[in-house]
Amino acid sequence: MDPYFQGKRVIVTGAGKGIGRLLCIKLAKSGAKVIAISRTTEDLDNLKLEDSSIEIHTQDISEWSSTRKLIEDIGLVDMLVNNAAVDRKKPYLEIKEEDFDYIYNTNVKAAFNISQAVVKCMVEKQTGGAIVNVSSIAGINAVHSIGTYGCTKAALDMMTKTMALEFGPHQIRVNSVNPTVVMTKMGKAAWSAPGVADTILKRIPNGRFAEEIDVVDAIVFLLSDKASMINGIHMPVDGGHLLQFF
Residue 10 confidence (pLDDT): 98
Domain count, the chain: 1
The pTM of the full predicted model, rounded to 2 decimals, is 0.95
Residue 146 confidence (pLDDT): 84
- Provide the CATH number for the domain around residue 50: 3.40.50.720
- Domain range for 143 is 9-181+211-236
Cα dihedral sign, 116-73-86-211: positive
In a domain? residue 3:
no
Q: Which of 8, 26, 104, 153 is catalytic?
A: 153
Residue 246 confidence (pLDDT): 64
Intervals of the chain under pLDDT 50: none
SS3 123: helix
For the question of residue 153 being annotated catalytic, the response is: yes
CA distances from 201 to 4, 238, 241 (A): 37, 11, 8
Q: Which of 17, 69, 149, 202 is catalytic?
A: 149
In a domain? residue 175:
yes
Q: Tell me: the pLDDT tens digits for 56-99?
A: 999 999 999 999 999 999 999 999 999 999 988 888 899 999 99
CA distances from 127 to 28, 120, 162, 225 (A): 21, 11, 20, 14
Q: In angstroms, rounded to a whole number, what is the distance separating the alpha carbons of residues 196 and 176?
A: 27
In a domain? residue 204:
no
